[in-house]
Amino acid sequence: MAQRADQTDLTDASRGKRLQRVMADAGVGSRRACEAMIENGEVEVNSKLVTKLPAWVDPEEDHIVVAGRALPKADRKLYIMLNKPSNTLSTNKDEPGSDRRTVVQLVNHPAAARLFPVGRLDYDTVGLIILTNDGELANRLTHPRYGVPKTYRVTVKGELDEAAIKELERGIYLAQRKAGQTDGVAKTAHVEIELIARDRERTVVSLTLREGRNRQVRRMLAAVGYPVRKLERTGMGPVRLRGLPRGGWRELTREEIRDLRKSAAVAYREDKKPNQASRPATQRGGQGAGQGSVGPNGGSRRSRKQNQPKKGPYVSPNAGQDVHIRNRTIKNAINRAGNERGFVPKPIVEPDESSEQGQ
């Protein structure tokens, strides 16, 4: 009993988890919102008011009260793969006054946990999206520091030539927006492209990127003169979309969860790209074998990563719009990103985005 009498000393990190994380895991709100509630005097631990952070608690032993109500035990961690259909929002709720379908509404899990989507896909973009109640893993999967790759199957209008492919691999200057206004331009990071099919009418490629800018895939291809007709996300890290109809969902397997955690365990280093990170996904795990894959430099490379599973069966998306966008060079793209008075680009540091934007 003497040992438990000192339960209200919350400064010892060995006690367990941070208080705001326990609250967030129990569905109270985001960590930032939970921190605000603590600092505003709305949280008690073992009948003692807590107003300072950090505070460490044992969620199994401590009695936590938030706004006068006892905190329920945290839900078990769930990891859901959803094959997102078109015309669906990648959020928990729609804006007030609207009644559009959301990805959360499509997942009727018997555990009734508070799930949220990991990153975003555009309203019309289809394919893989992961939902979970594990905030720690969700942050790692979307934070640019960890550079977890996202793979898309893209169909564009026209015959995508080698010059455009090289330009996409080197990087495209795209406008950045803050508070609804253009705030300079920045070059996209290296992307990995696999050519799947090409003729005069259309080109199909597999594109892998490690960023999460708003509508990045569509904007990059539009910048080189090839508007996107269809866009489907087929992979996140080592997890691949397979065996699910559009709108269907399932829990991730134990192996998929383990591999997903492993892919987000170490920060991605761009300076090691030529030796470790620049290989196309199709040549790291045998994905796309027999489809005439093309590496970033036109040649094959021997794989060093072994945790990339083979690509599963593909179901072509029905979404996508044919938007006529005229071809323009990088120079024109930079000019268009500026204001009417003329913008002279300066070296720009990409903002530290904590969540992936829609593609």
How many other C-beta atoms lie within 10 A of the C-beta of residue 87? 11
Angle 135-142/254-263 helices, nearest 10 degrees? 50
DSSP symbol at 6: G
**Contact criterion met (CB below 8 Å) for 239 and 128:** yes
Where residue 147 falls (left for φ over 0; alpha for ψ -120 to 50; beta otherwise) is left
How far, in Å, are 5, 10, 261 from residue 2 at the CA level?
A: 5, 16, 39
Catalytic site residue 122?
yes
Cα distances (angstroms) measured from residue 286 to each of 78, 205, 232, 283, 295: 29, 16, 20, 5, 13
Nearest in space to 229 (alpha carbons), one of 319, 128, 357: 319
Contacts of 99 (CB under 8 A, 6+ apart): none
Q: How far apart are CA 256 and CA 262, in angstroms?
A: 10
Measured between alpha carbons, how far is 223 from 168 in angstroms, rounded to an integer? 9
* Tokens standing for residue 241: 């979309």
Tokens of 93: 């709720």
Q: How far is CA 169 from CA 191, 219, 242, in A?
A: 5, 14, 27
Contact yes or no for 304/327 (Cβ under 8 A): no
Catalytic residue chosen out of the listed positions 122, 124, 134, 259 = 122
| Longest CA pairwise span in the chain (Å) | 79
3-state helix, strand, coil in the chain (%, to 5): 25, 25, 55
Query: Any idea what DSSP says for residue 140?
Result: H
Do 318 and 249 form a contact (C-beta atoms < 8 A)?
Answer: no
Asked if 258 and 265 count as a contact pair (C-beta separation under 8 A), the reply is: no
Q: Which residues are catalytic?
A: 122
